[in-house]
Amino acid sequence: MTATESEKVPRALQAKFGEITAITDGFATEHLNDEYRQLIRYAVAALCRKRPSPVATGKANTWACGVTHAVGIVNFLFDSSQTPHMKASDLYRTFGISQSTGQGKSKLVRDLLSMGQLDPEWTLPSRIAGNPMAWMVMVDGMIVDIRRMPRELQEAAFAKGLIPYLPEREQDG
């Protein structure tokens, strides 16, 4: 389990975590899926563990929208070719906040958690195999796709936590 895969929250922020995740859990159940629900919970917990925690102040629905939007950006939620997907304007409306507030909070969340598009730490588990950034490793000064390297290097990269899992071996035809 990585730091991003934890719902551990300081006692002082457990109520705020519960308030925010009650909102995000309902949203994910209605509009997204369980993978999004869990990843959003991890992000809220990570924000609660920051010192000082930014979620200690502000409205729960604003944080819920910001975190959901941030995780959505990493996973291309706003791309209609993806499933699930939705318009950002619908997300803001559902959380009851303005576009500028939603974008601002999302930017803050992404900055605080060092999130970016295709970030392996914040990619939905079902999409990690297709995320090229999850497989890029520096070997002898060159960045390579570890899936194309010898098994020994793959095993070493996995042991160091550089890749999410060992890729399947290609079968002989």
How much of the chain exceeds pLDDT 70, in percent?
95
- The count of C-alpha atoms lying within 13 angstroms of the C-alpha of 2, restricted to the half-sphere facing its C-beta, is 14
Per-residue confidence band for 173, with pLDDT thresholds at 50, 70 and 90: very low
The domain spans of the chain are 11-116, 131-173
Q: What average pLDDT does this structure show over 31-50?
A: 96
Of the candidates 88, 58, 55, the residue with the CA atom closest to the CA atom of residue 70:
88
CA distance 106 to 72: 10
Does position 171 have pLDDT exceeding 50, yes or no? no
- How many Cβ atoms from other residues are within 10 Å of residue 32's Cβ? 23
Per-residue confidence band for 169, with pLDDT thresholds at 50, 70 and 90: low
The neighbouring-strand residues paired with 17 are none
The neighbouring-strand residues paired with 136 are 145
Does position 32 have pLDDT exceeding 60, yes or no? yes
Tokens 């409205």, residue?
59
Residues contacting 72, CB < 8 A, separation 6+: 36, 78, 88, 91
Per-residue confidence band for 102, with pLDDT thresholds at 50, 70 and 90: very high
Helix (H) or strand (E) holding 104: helix 99-112
pLDDT value at residue 35: 95
pLDDT value at residue 105: 97
Does position 45 have pLDDT exceeding 60, yes or no? yes
| Mean per-residue pLDDT of the chain | 90
Per-residue confidence band for 59, with pLDDT thresholds at 50, 70 and 90: very high
CATH no. for 11-116: 1.10.472
CA distance 120 to 127: 9
Helix (H) or strand (E) holding 138: strand 136-139
pLDDT value at residue 170: 54
pTM of the model: 0.84
SS3 143: strand
Task: Decide if 162 contacts 137 (C-beta within 8 A).
Answer: yes
